[in-house]
Structure formats: structure tokens, C-alpha cells
Amino acid sequence: MKDLEITIIRKPIKNMYLRVRRSGDIEISASPHITQEMIESFVLAKWSWIMAKRQAVLSAPSQTLETDEILYFGSPLKVKRLSHSRVAIKVEEDQLLLSVPRAYSDEKAIVAAKNWMFKQLQQKITDYITYYWPYFEKQGILSVEIKYRQMTSTWGVCRPTRGTITFNKNLIHQPDAFIEYVVVHELSHLLQPNHSHRFYELVEFLLPQWKEFESKKV
């Protein structure tokens, strides 16, 4: 036990919980009322299990996500997990370089990657809206509230009476051209609520190649 780093975290909980981190260090959560002697007895009782678990954790490859692939703006990327003191994510050629602390579980690393990707999607959609917005301002549309959520049957929903557009978070997997088409499509509903002939005239006026862009969906 002398050569093993054990971190004790005091929490208002009834039981003690033990965790072997990716670094091999031990983390114990315990109530403030649990004494040091009780914690040591707990560790000794679990010692064989701790050693076996620690060996398994330390011998596991650090880049456990490398076999995974994600579709990022229409391009398949291989996920490469790297150890770093802080979260840093970037795309380099055909790889998503996912730098996270070694103590991160795969699940936590995936959450970090998804959060980063969502921010990229938000920025891309914001850029497209900013590009087309001057036309809608001239038509008297003063503002629109943008929302995001997971959807299964549509890429976007515009509610003109509420002044809101909700985009599907899964657009992160679609090519830029298709995303631009979806943005133009939903913005056009602010002026033309249904899919009338006038609606498609407006879409074509704003994005003449809209049919080509729509066909880019993967």
C-alpha cells in the first residue's frame, strides 16, 4: 500500500466505493464519518481484487477508441485517442485526434468528442444563417431563435409563428452542402410556411443549386 497512490474523497454517502483509475491509482469515496482505519481495512479486504483490476487497467492499450470510426461532416474519420493533461480535439487528415486525460473512461472521452463536434455544427449553421440573414431582414424578419435536438424523422423544423428553427443534431454527420440546403430550407419557411410553389421559388432564388445540395445527403 505504501507504493500505491490512494485518493480518498469524502462524500455524504452511506457506503464506501473503490475505483481503479486508468493511471493505476486508487480512488475511494467514503463518508466523512468513516475513519482512516476503516478505510485501510476495506482496502486490505479488497487487495487481491485491486491488484488484478489494476494490472488489467495498466496493461490495456491507452488508445482503446482507435478502431472506431465516425462520420464527420460527411467524411469518415478514424478516432485516435491520445493522453493529454487537458481535453484537446482536432481533425487531421482522416483522423479525429482525441486528446484527453488518461483517467478518462472511453465513455467520458466519447462525450467530450460529441460535445466538440456539436460545437462545430453550431458554428457552421450560425455561419450559414449569418450569410443568408440579410435577405430575411429586408423582408421584415427581425430575429429567429435557433434550437438543437436529436430527431429521427426530419432534419429541421421551422415554426414561423414562434420565430424558432430547430435543427437535428445528427446534421454533424452530413456534408456541408446538405447542411447549407437544410439551413436555406428552414429559413425559407419563415416567409413561406408550407411547401408551396412559392416556397420552392424562394429556395431556388437563395440557393440555385439546392437540388444538387439536397442530393449530397449520406
Closest CA to 22 of 61, 64, 58: 58
Residue 79 lies in a domain: yes
Same domain, residue pair 74 and 93: yes
Same domain, residue pair 74 and 44: no
List pLDDT tens digits, range 126-163.
999 999 999 999 999 999 999 999 998 899 999 999 99
Residue 18 lies in a domain: yes
pLDDT at residue 159, as a whole number: 96
Distance between CA atoms of 151 and 101, rounded to whole angstroms? 32
List pLDDT tens digits, range 160-218.
999 999 999 999 999 999 999 999 999 999 999 999 999 999 999 999 999 999 999 98
Same domain, residue pair 157 and 191: yes
List pLDDT tens digits, range 22-79.
677 888 999 999 999 999 999 999 999 999 888 887 776 544 455 467 899 999 998 8
38 lies in which domain range? 6-59
**What is the number of domains present in the chain?**
3
70, 76 Cβ separation under 8 angstroms: yes
pLDDT at residue 63, as a whole number: 43
Residue 1 lies in a domain: no
Residue 191 lies in a domain: yes
Rounded to two decimals, the pTM is 0.69
Same domain, residue pair 162 and 103: no
Same domain, residue pair 208 and 132: yes
Same domain, residue pair 133 and 208: yes
Same domain, residue pair 124 and 210: yes
